[in-house]
Amino acid sequence: MITTPDPNVTDHDAMQADSSRPKTHRRRDDALSRHDALQLIRKQMGTVIPPWALFTSVGSGIAIVISVMSFQSANTQDKVDKNTAPLQAQIVEMDKRLTGRLDAVDRRLDRFGSRLDALEIRMGAVETRLERIDAKLDRLLGK
């Protein structure tokens, strides 16, 4: 075990140098400035992260999030399709039945329309007969 003297301790107690965690830097009476703190952080890290590495890591994180979201979206759509397939079949069958019923109603309405046309023709003939009878009665009674 290697020991080194700690400059912050007055009676020069031994301190272990092979500690697995980073050394804590004790503050003295005054606080660290921003510049000093950045230098201290860089010194503790040992390396400076280049900006392209930061952008690459952020970009890959965004790509992972997008791929997970698209995967979940595709799975959700499959589940929705799977669960709504019986409902879709029922709707198709109901549509076929309704279409058949509506076609039957259309045929009935067409027949009623043709009967109504025939009835109007007959009523027109009856009206002309009544007008002739009325004209004959006026001639006979008018004398």
**What does the pLDDT read at residue 9?**
54
Which pLDDT belongs to residue 1? 47
Give residue 20's pLDDT.
Answer: 58
Strand intervals (E) in the chain: 3-5, 14-16
HSE-up (13 A, CA, CB side) for residue 116: 6
Evaluate whether 2 touches 15 at the Cβ level (below 8 Å).
no
Q: In the prediction, which pLDDT does 39 show?
A: 80
CB proximity list for 6: less than 8 A, separation 6 or greater: 12, 13, 15
Rounded mean pLDDT of 127-142? 91
pLDDT digit string, tens, across residues 8-46: 555 544 555 555 555 555 555 567 788 888 888 777 776
For 40-98, the pLDDT digits (tens) are 877 777 666 778 888 899 999 999 999 999 888 888 888 888 888 888 888 889 999 99
Residue 143 scores a pLDDT above 50: yes
Write the Ramachandran bin of 85: left for phi over 0, alpha for psi from -120 to 50, otherwise beta.
alpha
Q: What is the pLDDT of residue 108?
A: 94
Q: Quote the pTM value.
A: 0.35
